[in-house]
């Protein structure tokens, strides 16, 4: 069994979803992607999570990011559940949910953790860059709903640091100062960061957030 790591190519797959058959890579196109799993349909935490993701549609679009959910229940079950999500969360689910009854995708992405539950997927999140490499993996237990503001924050950081030689410090959010990569000399930093930079320690230099591209 393979063990996926950051920097690995995200495995491609074909799947049945609530919006028809998809090929993962074709679905992503040149966008960033989030693939996230749910333990099961008709469960309370998952219902709030999917409603939240639907409401964040504009935020994902701003970040050129496509979302794809997964649960190991079938299409008919998904259809009924989506109507409950729309009703109870006051939204309209606007992304596909994979019906992974044979657990093909769950196994490919190691979303079943037998010591947590031997049949249901845990709450896995994969963020995938346009070149299809895996940039982030997080695993939550079934009992803890995810913080989708945190996922947006991480995507902002990933998109900024993909194009600039900077990293984002603890609790960073869009617009805060960033830190300059240690590999950049002070001389190069002067050219790269025209807004200037502060040397707190030789290895800790901060600069106002540069534009992402």
C-alpha–C-alpha distance, residues 44 and 128, integer Å: 27
Q: Which is nearer to ligand BEZ, 120 or 152 (CB)?
A: 120
Examine residue 51 and tell whether it contacts ligand BEZ (CB under 6 A): no
Contact 145, 51 (CB under 8 A): no
Reduced to 3 states (helix: H, G, I; strand: E, B; else coil), residue 174 is: coil
Q: Which residue has the tokens 């044979």?
A: 102
Question: How remote is the C-alpha of 196 from its chain's centroid?
Answer: 32
Examine residue 46 and tell whether it contacts ligand BEZ (CB under 6 A): yes
Question: Exactly one of 1, 20, 30, 44 binds ligand BEZ (CB under 6 A); which one?
Answer: 44
Question: Exactly one of 45, 116, 137, 184 binds ligand BEZ (CB under 6 A); which one?
Answer: 45
Contact 9, 108 (CB under 8 A): no
149: which residues sit within 8 A by CB, 6+ positions away? none
C-alpha–C-alpha distance, residues 135 and 127, integer Å: 6
Examine residue 115 and tell whether it contacts ligand BEZ (CB under 6 A): no
Strands (E), the chain: 14-17, 20-23, 32-38, 65-71, 97-99, 123-128, 134-140, 166-167, 178-180, 198-201, 204-207
Q: Which is nearer to ligand BEZ, 15 or 142 (CB)?
A: 142
Q: Which is nearer to ligand BEZ, 42 or 163 (CB)?
A: 42
Window contacting ligand BEZ (CB under 6 A); options: 26-34, 43-51, 65-73, 160-168: 43-51
Examine residue 118 and tell whether it contacts ligand BEZ (CB under 6 A): no
Question: Exactly one of 33, 39, 51, 96 binds ligand BEZ (CB under 6 A); which one?
Answer: 39
Inter-helix orientation angle 44-55/148-163, to 10°:
50
* Choice among 10, 15, 28, 46 that is catalytic: 46
Examine residue 53 and tell whether it contacts ligand BEZ (CB under 6 A): no
Window contacting ligand BEZ (CB under 6 A); options: 40-48, 66-74, 87-95, 177-185: 40-48
Site for ligand BEZ in 127-166 (CB under 6 A): 142-143
Catalytic residues, which ones? 46
Residues of this chain that interact with ligand BEZ (CB under 6 A) are 39-40, 43-46, 142-143
């Amino acid at each position: 069994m393979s063990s996926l790591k950051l920097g690995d190519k995200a495995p491609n797959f074909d799947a049945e979803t609530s919006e028809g058959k998809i090929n993962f890579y074709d679905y992503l196109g040149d966008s960033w992607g989030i693939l996230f799993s749910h333990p099961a349909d008709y469960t309370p935490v998952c219902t709030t999570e999917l409603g939240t993701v639907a409401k964040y549609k504009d935020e994902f679009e701003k970040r050129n990011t496509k979302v794809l959910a997964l649960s190991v229940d079938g299409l008919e079950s998904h259809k009924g559940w989506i109507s409950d999500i729309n009703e109870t969360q006051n939204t309209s689910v606007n992304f596909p949910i994979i019906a992974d009854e044979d657990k093909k995708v769950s196994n490919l992405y190691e979303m079943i953790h037998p010591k947590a539950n031997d049949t249901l997927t845990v709450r896995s999140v994969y963020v995938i860059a346009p070149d299809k490499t895996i940039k982030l993996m997080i695993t939550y237990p079934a009992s803890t709903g995810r913080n989708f503001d945190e996922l947006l924050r991480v995507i902002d950081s990933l998109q900024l640091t993909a194009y600039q030689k900077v990293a984002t410090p603890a609790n960073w959010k869009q617009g805060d100062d960033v830190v300059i990569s240690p590999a950049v000399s002070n001389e190069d930093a002067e050219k790269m960061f025209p807004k200037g930079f502060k040397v707190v320690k030789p290895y800790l230099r901060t600069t106002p957030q540069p534009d992402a591209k």
